[in-house]
Chain A
């Protein structure tokens, strides 16, 4: 039981006074409306030149705009570039 508690504690991280579940939530870094780096994603749900929907385990992130490009595709991170007009989050 003690072992399980420690494991559970490690999974949770205190971020700005709020306890967040690191495993479930993705880390999103935005550089203006031109670039976004998403860490902790599972894959791409939908992709075309005006819309990219990224699956992030518990959430989906939708980037809308024009000239959307997936610069780097790796196992758990994606770099999305383009002119974003809208970013929306939805829970799965």
Chain B
């Protein structure tokens, strides 16, 4: 089963995305910060990641860089409320597959996941 990892310090966002993606038939695993995201990625190698940017312990860009260093083929979609040009450029430079600005419509999230999975 295709596994998606949702990384966000906000439990509500993890719950919303997990519900949305489970309805689409995906297996969902969760991480509450960048440190846990890197650990779980190494352990479970999910097929795609939805990653928040601003988190305690380790932020999303740092976690993205570590995940991509471990697995250059990792598919990571940044999903963050911070949608500024400089951040988007940095995320893409670090290897983000897509960038969604919260609040994101559920259809856009699902579309982005399908797109990055299709690129595998």
State whether these chains interact.
no
Measured CB to CB, the residues of A under 8 A from B are none
